[in-house]
Amino acid sequence: MSTASVRIEGLTKVFYDDSRGEVRAVDDVHLECASGEILGLLGANGAGKTTTLRMLSTVLTPTGGRAWIMGHELREEPQDVRLSIGFYSSSTALYPKITPRETLRFFARVNRYPAERVEERVELLIDRFGLAEYADSRVEKLSSGMKQKVSIARTLAHDPPVLIFDEPTVALDVLNALELRKIIAQLRDDGKAVIFSTHVMSEAEQLCDRIAIIHNGRILACDTLDGLRGLTGKHYLEEIFVHYARDSQA
Amino acid sequence: MLASGVRAIYGLEIRSLLRDHRTVFISIVLPVVLMPLLLLVSARVEQGRQQRETTRHYKYAVVGSDSLFMLELLRDSVRQDESDPADSAAPTFETVATTDALHDLEVRAIEFFVEGLGPEEWRAFLAEDTARADELEEFHDTPVARVNFRSNRRSSSVGARQLRTRLVEIRRVRRDSVLVQAGFPIHPDDFATLDVVNVASEVEVAGARLGRMLTLFVVLLMMAGGGVLATDTLAGEKERGTLVTLLTTGATRAEIILAKLLAVTSVALVIVLIQIVNLWIYLGLGLIDVSSGFSASVPPATALVLFVLYVPVAALASGVLLVTSAYAKTYKEAQLLFMPAMLGLLLPTLAPFLPEISLSSAIVLVPLANIAIAARDILVGQANWLMVGIAWLVTAAAAAYAGWFAARALEDENLIAGADSDRAEFLGGPALFRKRVLQWFVVFWAVKILLEMNIGFEDIRWTVVFHVGVVFLAAPLLMVWHFKLNVREALALRAPKPGVWLGVVLGAPAALIVVTGFFQLVNLVLPVPREVLESFGQAIMPEEIPVWQIVILLSVIPGIVEELTFRGALLHGLRRRFSPVVLCLVVGGIFGFFHFQIFRIPSTALLGVILSAVTVLTGSIFPAILWHTINNALALYLGSEGVELAGGSWMTYTGAAVALGLALWIIWLNRSLYPDLKGEPPSRRAPGGSNPRSSPP
Amino acid sequence: MALMDSQVLTIYAHEVRSAVRERNIVIYSIVLPLVMYPILLWAIFAGIQFVQGQTERLGSRVALVGLPDEHGALADSLENEKGIEVVPWEDTRDEALSAIGEGRLDVLVEFAEPDSNGVALRDNFTVRLHFNETRDRSSGARTRVEGVLTDYRDAWLDRERKVLGVSDATWADFGIVLENVASPDEMIRFLLSIMIPTLMIIMIAVATFYPAVDATAGERERSTWETMMTVAASRTTIATAKYLYVATFGAVGGLLNLTALALSMRWILAPLGGSTEQLTSAGIPLSALPVIAVGTALLALFIAAVMLVLASFAQTFKEGQSMITPFYILLILPSIFMQDPDMEFSMLLATLPILNIIMVIREAIVGVYHVPQIAVTFLSQIIFVAASIGFAQWVLRNEEVYMGTHEGGLGRFLKGRFSRRASSS
C-alpha cells in the first residue's frame, strides 16, 4: 500500500447511451494525492472532472479500475470512503429549512463524529468560517456567498482527512473566491489531502501543488506547475493546457 | 451506531417539515378543519333533502278510462292522511285536473300522473310489450293503476314510488276486509306471521359496517398526510440537490431510507390519530350525526389493538410513497406517480367488501387486504388472533420490502444523478417510443372502450370492421408514424423459417383447447355471474350473413390487425424493457385487458402469452397472425357446430397441452429469435446492468 | 384591442407550444380528463361483476326447526330454490344461533304454534327467521329464504280464499304498475346534470393548475422568467398572453372531461336497466353546446385568473402548488350544496359566481333554458372575471411580485399593502 491518502488506478467510467452508444466519460485515470497536498484537476467542460470526483465520492460506481481513499477501496468499502471524505460540488445543496448551526450539527452526527465532541466542533467551524452572525437564521434566507461558506464548512463537519471539491469557486464573486482559496490553502496546512477541480487557470496556478490536466476523460499530464513547464517548454498554464489539449486531438 | 445516523436524519426530516408552515397548514391543519366541516355540511344537505322528500306536497293528475275508480281509491288514501294529522313526516298528495297529462308532467305542472286502465286496455298494452307478459297473469281481469313518472326528475320518481307504496297498502287493506267478510277464521295479520331476527347486536352490525370502510379511510388519510413529506423527501431532494450531499455522508443507504421511512410513517400515523380524535370529538359533541356506521362504540382496548394493527399499514403506505419518490427524478414526476400509487394501495383495502371473505384463507398473504379484513373481524368481535398476527407480519414484511426497494433506487446512478439521462425525450423517435409505449396503450385502451360504446352502424358487419379492423389497425400505424419507426422492424414483418408453419398448424388447435381448459380453471376462482354467462351464449352475428364473411370479419381481420398491434407494435416497444419471458407475460396480459370482460381477461391473456412467445421465437409476426386466425376460425366453427370444448375431460386438456408443447418445441427447433431483446448478447447495455440471458419459454 | 395584439398571439402560441411538450400538463389537462372515466367505470363495472360472481357461488345454508308435517312442501320449495341448501339440524336451537354468529350456518328458520289470535285457522303457524347482519352470506340467505317463505304464504292464502269463494278478480283487486316515461336520452342527460357540477369544476381546476404554476413559478425555476421580461413586449401583453394560455387549458380540460363523461355514460346506464340501443345522442344535445362552451370558458377564465395571481408569488413549483391548494378546496366546496338535483335556478343563485354557471350548464344539458337567469349569470360572471383580472393586474404591477422577489403569498402581500397604506394616511 502506498502512503498516499488518495490513490486512483485506472479508474474508468463508461456510460451507455441509446443514441451515442458507449461513452467513455473517464478513461483509465491514474492519480495520487498525499496528505497536506492540493491536487488540481484542470479541464474544460465535459472533460470528465465531475465524473471522476463523483466516483471518488461514491455517488457513481466506476465501471473499471480501482481507487483507495485512506486505504479503503471505493467499491469494496464505500461506507468507510464516505466517512473519510468531505465532498462539495454544485449539486450538493444545503437543507433550506434548518440553520447553519443545525446543518453543521447534522452533518457531524450523520458522519459519526463522536457525539460528545459535536458541539465543540460546530463552534470551532462557526468561528473559523465567520458564520457566527447568521448561524441561527435559516439557510434559505442566506445569500449565495454565505451558503457557499456554510457548504464548505459542512464538508469539514466530521473533520475528514480527504476533501473533494468540484469547481468550488464557479459561482462566487472575486472576494468570496479569494476567501475560499485561502480556506483551501489552510486545509492543506492542516494536513488534509485536497482534490479540487477547476477550469480557471489562474486558480490552479496559485493553489495547486500538483496539476492534472484532463481532457476527453483522459489524464494528459500530472505534475507540479514547474514540472509541466519543463515538460512543455511553455510558461503559462493556459499555454500548457492548450498544448496538451491540441496534442491529444491530433 | 446505526441509531445515531437514523436519529439525525429523522430529526432533520421532521424539523424541516414543521418549519415549512405552509405545508403543515395545507396537509395537516386544513384537512383537520375541513374534514368534519365537509361531513357536517353534506350530512345537513342530505338530511334537508330527505326531509323535503318525506314531507313534500305532490301535485298529480288522474287520467284514463278507469279514472273514477282510481280517484275513489285515492280519496280513501287522502282520508287516511287526514285521520292521522300527527304523522307530519308523510308526504301529501293533491290531484289536479289536466287535459294533457304527459305535457303537464314534462313542464313540471305535475310530478306524476296515475292512469286508470280498464282490463282490456291493459291487455292490449301488454300485448305490445312481450317482455312484460308475466304481469298479465294476475291482473288480466282487473283494472290497473299505471303510475307514470319521469326518472330524470327526482321529485317525480320519489313521489311516484311513494304513491305506489300507498296504493299497495290500500290494496292490502281491501283484500284483508274481503277475506274477513268471506269468513276467514282469523285476521289476515295473524296468518303465518313472519318475524325476522338479527342475531348480531347493534354494536356488531355497526362494527361490521365501520370495519369495511375503516382501512380504506385510514389509508386515504395516511396517503394524503404522508404524501406531502414523501414526495418532497427524495424527489424533492434530488431537485434541490441535497440528496447527493446526503449520499456522500457516512450515513448508509439503509440508514437514510430507514430514517425517511420512519419520518413518513410517523407523520402518517400522527395525521390518522389527529383525524380520528378530531372525528371523535365532533361525534361526541353531536355536531355530526352521520350514519349509524360511525357510531360503533369502540372500547379503548380495541382502539389500541387497531392502532397497533395499522402501524405496518402506515409503514407500507410510506414505503410505497418513498418508492415512487425515489424512482421519480423530480418533484413533479413524483406527484404524477402519486395517484397511481394511491389507487394501487386503496384497491386491496376494498377486500372486506368481498362476500364471505375470511382471514383464514389465501387472502392472509395479501398485504393491506389482510389488515383490512383483520380490522373488520376485530370490530365485529370475531378475530382469529393467529391469523391477525400472520396478517400483521405479512404487511410488515411488505413494508420492509418497499423500503428495501426504495433503498435500491439510491444505488441507481441514473436516478441520483438525474437530468442528463432524459436524452430519449430530446431525441424522440424509436428511443422515446420505448419509453412511451405503455402510456400510449393505456390511452388507446380507454379510447377503444369509448369508441366501442358509442359507435355502431346499422349493419353489424360495418360495426365489426370498424372496431376490429379500423381501430386496431389505426393504433400501430399511428405509433409507427408518430415515432418515425421502421415499419418492417416495428411490426416484425420478417419471414420465419419454413418449419415454423408446421408448429403453427399443430399448435393453434391445441392452444384453443388449452385456453378453454384454462378458462374453466379460472372460473373456479373467478366465477362468472349468470347473466354474463347467458350473454356469452348469444350469437354475435345474425344468421343471414354468409359464412365466408363471418370468417373474414371475426377471424382473418382480427388475426391480422390484433397481431400487428400487440405482437407488432407493443412487443417491439417493450422488447428492451423486459426479459423475454416477462415480455411475453406483459404483452399477453395487455392483450387480455383489451378484451374488457373481466372473466375473459385471464384466458385471452394466456392466448396472448402463447402468441407473444411464438413471435419472440420466430422473430416474425406472420406465424402469430396465422395462429390467431386459425384459433378464431376454429372457435367459430366449433361454436356453430355446437361442439362444447368446455365440457372436455382432463384427458382432452392434457393431450392438448402435450400437443401445444410439441408445437412450441417444433417452433423452438426452427427458431430465429426476435432481434435486440433485453439481455441478448452481445450486450450493449452498460456493464454492471446486464441481465443474465433468460431462457426462452 | 389589446387581446388581438400580434405580440399577445406570439407569446400565447409560444406558451401553448411549450405546454403541449410538457408531460405533466398534457397528462393533467388532456389525457386524464379523457381516460379517467373509461378506466374508472371499467374498474367499477368489473368489480361489480366480480363480486356478483363470488356472491352467486355462495350457497345459503338453511336449518329448519319445528316445521309442522303438514307444511313439508315448504321444505321442498326451499330445497328446490337455487342457491339454498337445507342443512339437517340435529343440535339445539342455541347451537344453531351460535353457528349463525360464527358463520357456519346462514339462516335458522324456526316454526312455532300461533298465538291465541291465530289458532282459529287450522295448520296456522308463526315463523321466525334468524340471520346475522354482519355476514353477507347470511344477509343474502335471509333475502332468499324470506322470498320463498312469502311465496309459500301467498300461495296458501290463495288456496284459502278460493275455498272461501272469493273470485280471482275480487282477489286481484287492481294492478299497480310504475311507468317511466323518460327516454334513455333524457335519463343520460339527467345523470350527467347531476355529475357535472362537481366534476366540471374539479377538472377545470386540475387542468388549469399545472399551466398556471408552470407559467409563473415554473418559469422562475427554469430561470426563463427574466428572459421573458426582457423581450420587447409590455408586461400587460405578457400577462395577457399567459392568462389566455392558462384559461385555454382549463377550458379544454373541462370540455374534454364533459365529452368523456358523456361518452362513458352508457356504461352507467346499462346496469340501471336502461336499454342503451334506443339512445340517439351521446347525451348532450347539440343545441346546448354554445351555452356550455360559453359557460366553461367563463369558468376557466375566472379560475385561471385567480390561480395565476396565487401562483405568481411562488418561487418554486412546490410552493406554487401549496399556494393554490386552498383555492382548490374552496372551489370544490360549492358542489356539495349542489347535490340536490331538483334545485331551483333562482335569480339570487344566478348572481353567485361559479354556482350560477354550474346551474346554467346543468340546465342546458337537460334542455331547460331560463333566459333571464342565463343573462344574469353571464353578466355577473363577466363582471367577476373582469374584477379578478383587474385584481391580478393590480397585484402584478408590483415589482417585487413581478420579479418574484416578494416573500410569502398573496395574504402577506395584501397585508403589506394595506398596512402600508394605513400607516401613510
> Are B142 and C103 an interchain contact pair (Cβ–Cβ within 8 Å)?
no
Question: Is there a contact between A53 and A243 (Cβ–Cβ < 8 Å)?
Answer: no
- Inter-chain touch C173–B142, beta carbons under 8 Å: yes
Asked whether the predicted pLDDT for residue B418 surpasses 80, the reply is no
Q: Which residues pair with A218 in a beta bridge?
A: A215
CB contact under 8 Å between A96 and B240, yes or no, is yes
CB contact, 8 Å: C23 with chain B?
yes
Across residues A128-144, what is the average pLDDT? 87
Q: How far apart are CA A42 and CA A243, in angstroms?
A: 13
Q: Is A83's CB within 8 Å of B250's CB?
A: yes
Using CA atoms, how far apart are residues A151 and B470, in angstroms rounded to an integer? 61
Q: Which residues of A are less than 8 Å from B20 in CB distance?
A: 97
| Average pLDDT over every residue of A225-250 | 84
Residue spans per domain, chain B: 2-40+203-349+399-418, 51-175, 447-532+546-669
Give the model's pLDDT for residue B419. Answer: 45
Query: Residue A52 pLDDT more than 80?
Result: yes
Residue B176 has pLDDT above 60, yes or no: yes
Q: Set out the domains of chain C in order of their start, with CATH numbers.
A: 2-38+183-406 (no CATH), 60-168 (3.40.190.10)
Query: By a Cβ cutoff of 8 Å, what residues of chain B touch chain A?
Result: 1, 4-5, 7-9, 11-12, 15-16, 19-20, 240-242, 244-252, 413, 416-417, 423-424, 427, 431, 684-689
Closest CA to B351 of B337, B341, B362: B362
* pLDDT for res A17: 63
B250 pLDDT tier (thresholds 50, 70, 90)? confident
Q: Which residues of A touch B248 (CB under 8 A)?
A: 57-59, 82, 85, 87, 92
Q: Does A16 touch chain B (CB under 8 A)?
A: yes
Helices C289-311, C184-213: axis angle to 10 degrees equals 30
From chain B, pick out residues whose CB is under 8 angstroms from the CB of C175: 122, 135, 138-139, 142-145
The residue behind cell 354474463 is B532
Mean pLDDT over A223-250 rounds to: 84
Q: Is the preceding omega at residue B682 within 30 degrees of 0, hence cis? A: yes
Q: Which of B148, B332, B378, B536 has the highest number of chain C CBs within 10 A, making it the mutation to test binding with C?
A: B332
By mean pLDDT, which of B129-138, B427-436, B588-597, B662-671 is the weakest?
B129-138
pLDDT at residue B73 above 80? no
Q: What is the pLDDT of residue B689?
A: 36
Which candidate from A15, A102, A111 shows the least CB-CB separation from B250?
A: A111
Residue C178, Cβ neighbours under 10 Å: how many?
A: 16
From chain A, the residues in CB contact with B8 under 8 A are: 106, 109-110
Which residues of chain B lie closer than 8 angstroms to C49, CB-CB? 529, 532, 598-599
* Chains with 3 or more CB pairs under 8 A to chain B: A, C
Q: Is residue A185 scored above 70 in pLDDT?
A: yes
pLDDT category, B87, cuts 50, 70, 90? low
User: What cell does B452 get?
Assistant: 366501442
| Residue among B122, B149, B442 minimizing CB distance to C180 | B149
CA nearest neighbour of B568 among B480, B453, B646, B482: B480
pLDDT of residue B77: 65
C366, C343 contact by CB (below 8 A) = no
Of B100-109, B220-229, B539-548, the range with the lowest mean pLDDT is B539-548
Q: Using a CB–CB cutoff of 8 Å, tell me whether C323 touches chain B.
A: yes
Spatial separation of the C-alpha atoms in residues B520 and B200, rounded to whole Å: 38
**Looking at residue B697, what is its pLDDT?**
34
Say if residue C397's pLDDT is above 60. yes
Helices B369-380, B300-327: inter-axial angle, 10-degree rounding: 170
> How far, in whole angstroms, is CA B84 from its chain's centroid?
49
Q: Give me the mean pLDDT over the C377-400 stretch.
A: 84
Residue B422 has pLDDT above 60, yes or no: no
Chain C residues within 8 A of B454 when measuring between CB atoms: 263, 266, 282
Quick one: pLDDT band at residue B293, thresholds 50, 70, 90?
Answer: very low
Q: DSSP string covering B1-62, please?
A: -HHHHHHHHHHHHHHHHHH-HHHHIIIIIHHHHHHHHHHHHHHHHHHHHHHHHHT-EEEEEE
Task: Calculate mean pLDDT across residues B525-533.
Answer: 75
Domain B51-175, CATH 3.30.160 — does that match? no
Return the pLDDT at B310. 93
What is the structure's pLDDT at C272? 47
- Please name the residues in contact with B643: beta carbons below 8 A apart, sequence gap of 6 or more: none
Per-residue pLDDT at B524 = 80
d(CA C15, CA C244): 10
**pLDDT-wise least confident of B237-251, B352-366, C411-425:** C411-425
What residues have CB less than 8 Å from A82, skipping those under 6 apart? A57, A58, A111, B248, B249, B250
Binary contact (C342, B46; C-beta < 8 A): no
For B593-615, write each residue's pLDDT tens digit. 988 778 888 999 999 999 999 99
One-character DSSP codes across C291-336: HHHHHHHHHHHHHHHHHHHHHTT-SSHHHHHHHHHHHHHHHHHHHH
Whose grid coordinates read 342546458? C364
Burial of A174 (0-12, 13-18, 19+ CB in 10 A): exposed
Confidence of residue B511 (pLDDT cuts 50, 70, 90): very high
Q: Rounded to an integer, what distance in angstroms lies between the CA atom of residue B434 and that of residue B430?
A: 6
Query: What is the count of residue pairs from B and C with beta carbons less than 8 Å apart?
Result: 280
Inter-chain contact B185–C127, Cβ cutoff 8 Å? no
Residue B625 pLDDT exceeds 90: yes
Per the CB < 8 Å rule, is C157 touching B23?
no
Is it the case that residue C314 has pLDDT exceeding 50? yes
Of A63, A92, A98, the CB nearest to B248: A92
Question: Residue B80's pLDDT is what?
Answer: 56
Pairwise CA distance, residues B199 & C132, whole Å: 5
User: B220: how many CB neighbours lie within 10 A of its CB?
Assistant: 17
- pLDDT tens across B449-500, in order? 888 877 777 777 888 888 888 888 898 999 999 888 888 888 989 988 998 9
Beta strand A21-33 pairing with A72-73: unpaired
B255 Cα to chain A: minimum distance (Å): 10
Average pLDDT, chain C: 82
- At residue C212, does pLDDT exceed 60? yes
- Which chain B residues are Cβ-neighbours of A14 within 8 angstroms? 686-687
Share of chain A above pLDDT 90, in %: 28
pLDDT of amino acid B684: 42
**What is the pLDDT, as a whole number, of residue C425?**
47
Residue A95: closest C-alpha in chain B:
B242
A139-163 CB burial, b ≥16 within 10 A, e <16: beebeebbbbbbbbbbbbbbebbbb
C-alpha cell at B118: 280498464
Measured between beta carbons, the chain B residues lying within 8 angstroms of C342 are 153-155
pLDDT at B420: 46
A to B CB pairs, distance under 8 Å = 99
- What's phi and psi for C87, nearest 5 deg? -95, 125
Who's near B324: CB < 8 A, 6+ residues apart?
Answer: B230, B231, B334, B337, B338, B341
B374 or C242: which carries more pLDDT confidence?
Answer: B374
ipTM value, please give it: 0.83
Cβ contact, residue pair B382, C102, below 8 Å: yes
From A103's Cα to the closest Cα of chain B, the distance in A is 9
Alpha helix (H) ranges present in chain A?
49-56, 78-84, 100-110, 118-129, 144-155, 174-189, 201-207, 225-232, 237-249
Residue % of chain B over a pLDDT of 70? 87
Give yes or no for A231 touching B (CB within 8 A).
no
The set of residues, in sequence order, having a beta carbon less than 8 Å from that of C219 and lying 6+ positions away, is C225, C228
Give the best residue of A56, A84, A109 to mutate against chain B (max B CB count within 10 A).
A109
CB nearest A112 (choices: B1, B15, B242): B1
Model confidence at A38: pLDDT above 90:
yes
Task: Tell me how far apart the alpha carbons of residues B17 and B228 are, in angstroms, rounded to a whole number.
Answer: 9
Which residues are B144's β-sheet partners?
B117, C175
Of C366 and B284, more confident: C366
Distance spanning both ends of chain C, measured CA to CA: 37
Identify all chain B residues contacting A79, using CB atoms and an 8 Å cutoff.
250, 252
| Share of residues in chain B with pLDDT > 90 (%) | 24
Q: How far is C322 from chain B (nearest CA, A)?
A: 7
What is the pLDDT confidence band of residue B561, given thresholds at 50, 70 and 90?
A: very high
Identify the pLDDT of residue B696: 38
CB-based contact, A114 to chain B, within 8 Å: no
**Beta-carbon separation of B688 and A63 below 8 A:** yes
User: Which residue in the set B12, B20, B247 is minimally distant from A59, CB to CB?
Assistant: B247
Give B-chain residues touching C149 at CB under 8 angstroms.
Answer: 194
Cell of B347: 384497491
How many Å lie between the alpha carbon of B28 and the closest alpha carbon of chain A?
A: 18
- The pLDDT-based confidence of B426 (bands split at 50, 70, 90) is low
Closest alpha carbon within chain C to B167: C176
pLDDT digits (tens, 9 = 90+) for C11-67: 888 888 888 777 777 887 778 778 888 888 888 888 888 888 887 778 889 999 888
* B123-163 tens-digit pLDDT: 887 777 666 666 666 677 788 888 999 988 888 888 899 88
**What confidence category does residue A1 fall into, taking pLDDT thresholds of 50, 70 and 90?**
very low
Spell out the domains of chain A, with CATH numbers in brackets: 6-91+163-249 (3.40.50.300)
Q: Evaluate if pTM is beyond 0.95.
A: no
Is residue B643 within 8 Å of B509, Cβ to Cβ? Answer: no
What pairing do the DSSP bridges indicate for beta strands B112-117 and B57-63? Answer: parallel
Higher-pLDDT residue of B423, B72: B72
Q: Are A109 and B8 in contact (CB under 8 A)?
A: yes
B537 to chain C, minimum CA–CA distance in Å?
A: 17
Please report the pLDDT score of residue B130 as a whole number: 63
Q: Do B417 and A59 touch (CB under 8 A)?
A: yes
